[in-house]
Structure 1
């Protein structure tokens, strides 16, 4: 029978170190994947804290509303072709170039519709409170 004293004991930190060393590639890929999103998240947080401390409550509310309108209007870009590009990137990476070219072409073709829709949203909701140049800058960002 095996006694507990016969089992070689390893320090807990050594076990963790060997566990991480065995999965070094996986950890590198994970940190690479979250670093872009994490960096954007930190930047966005600092940006919105600065805006919240600079603008009045009503101005910040108007900015948030215009920003949300910009996010919704951005779905018009390339007539929604971005979802096909994302799907292709995960399923058939060798077609990314072809789909990217299609996205760029459809993006150019959709710009007039995007401009008309943006101007319509501006006239409908923001014309009385936000200058057109400010709205355009928020939507473009």
Structure 2
């Protein structure tokens, strides 16, 4: 699927398979739709998360509005300092000592589980609604065939 040093594969996966295979916990894959483009960014609408629109840096041109994409974000890339966010309801907490893995779903309940790596103190509680913040610069996009959109 892809050849390279482990960290290169982790940081720059060429497709969904590599992105999901490298790393633990695995990358989150959210359903997205191209809502437009502006200034080197694809505006990605996340229908399962209240139609939040996230600007993702891409070099690709000609991304047609309405094109389905997969939005990838790693659990450790959720961060309170992030400029984008999705609203989630905490399902399960997995306390691992210095960090806690938060498994959550969209507030609507219409999403797959999203894994968020949080410090032990900011993890929340089961059933609680959280605003999961992240930097759009950390997100990756994949096309309908699973290939990375650069």
Please report the TM-score for the alignment, with normalisation by the length of structure 1. 0.20
Greater helix percent: which structure? Answer: 1
Q: Please identify the structure whose Cα radius of gyration is greater.
A: 1
